[in-house]
Amino acid sequence: MFLVQEYVQGLSLRQEIYPGQPWPQDQVVQFLLSTLRPLAIVHENRTIHRDIKPDNLMRRLKDQQIMLIDFGAVKEFTSTVIAGSTKIIGSPGYMAREQAIGKPCFASDIYSLGMVAIEALTGCFIGQLHTDPHTDRVLWLEELTRPIDRRLYEILEKMTAPKASDRYAHGVDALQVVYKLANAGSLLTDCDPSNPQQTPKVIASAITWVQKAQKMTNYLQQIPQGNPEGNSPNPCPNLQSPIPSSYAIYPH
């Protein structure tokens, strides 16, 4: 397999994503749209990028389009990859857990791109975000300073699901859903992190691990000492809102 890479003159997104300066949600949607297009082509050619991060996303000066660069880590999706005998390549924080054990797949790229989008939307570096100890999900909604569209929340949650099987399986699948959202009209603000009644149930219950530990402590204190029948509460379920991926219009 031979790769021909275009010379791109521009600046990486690392120079645009600043802590404390979150992007508007419509800008994040356009970012996903512009990056999923080339990623879908990469996946259609049976290859995995394996190192999607802000440093490898460049805004081209001549037209301001975001380009996916640095295909030095690209891997052809073969039985070798499936068997897990591939070298571990990627960047901490953006790397899906199956990729971290040498078993990357198309959904690994989806995870990485979703994490970049979350970083831009929250204005928080990846290392600043907490993870739910029960579900391994990144708790990012609580970092938002403004409400967002519930559909965008669901897309990002699916992109960054801990299990590869729970994510979009292919760049084309994610592109179809984001394209549908981008063409559905103005984005809503029906997912408010400051109002638990308006947030999805998974987030309303997904408080930080410190709060979870406190609730667990309070529960255990209510169990009589020496009671062998006392049962620990069940862990928080890994709730998800299914997102249809049957949208049949492809952007050109």
pLDDT of residue 195: 75
User: For residue 15, is it within any domain?
Assistant: yes
User: Which of 109, 48, 53 is closest to 80 using CA atoms?
Assistant: 48
User: For residue 150, is it within any domain?
Assistant: yes
pLDDT of residue 206: 40
pLDDT of residue 106: 97
User: For residue 35, is it within any domain?
Assistant: yes
pLDDT of residue 136: 94
Give DSSP secondary structure letters for 199-233.
Answer: S-HHHHS---HHHHHHHHHHHHHTSPTT-TT--PP
User: For residue 205, is it within any domain?
Assistant: no
User: For residue 222, is it within any domain?
Assistant: no
Q: What is the CATH number of the domain that holds 81?
A: 1.10.510.10
Task: Show the domain range for 106.
Answer: 10-129+138-191
Q: Dihedral of CA 114/173/28/239: which sign? A: negative
Alpha carbon 204 to its chain centroid, in Å, reads 19
Q: Is 182 exposed, middle or buried (0-12, 13-18, 19+ CB in 10 A)?
A: middle
Contact between 84 and 102 (Cβ < 8 Å):
yes
Contact between 82 and 109 (Cβ < 8 Å):
no
pLDDT of residue 233: 39
Within 10 angstroms of residue 98's Cβ, the number of other Cβ atoms is 18
Which amino acids are annotated catalytic? 51
Number of domains, the chain: 1
pLDDT of residue 238: 39
User: For residue 218, is it within any domain?
Assistant: no
User: For residue 223, is it within any domain?
Assistant: no
Q: In sequence order, what are the residues at sequence separation of 6 or more whose Cβ sits closer than 8 angstroms to the Cβ of residue 237?
A: none
pLDDT of residue 194: 74
One digit per residue, the tens of pLDDT, for the chain of length 252 reads 555 556 667 889 999 998 999 999 999 999 999 999 999 999 999 999 999 999 999 999 998 888 898 765 555 554 444 445 556 677 889 999 999 999 999 999 999 999 999 999 999 999 999 999 999 999 999 999 999 999 999 999 999 999 999 999 999 999 999 999 999 999 999 898 877 566 554 444 444 444 544 555 555 555 555 444 444 433 333 333 333 333 333 333
User: For residue 93, is it within any domain?
Assistant: yes
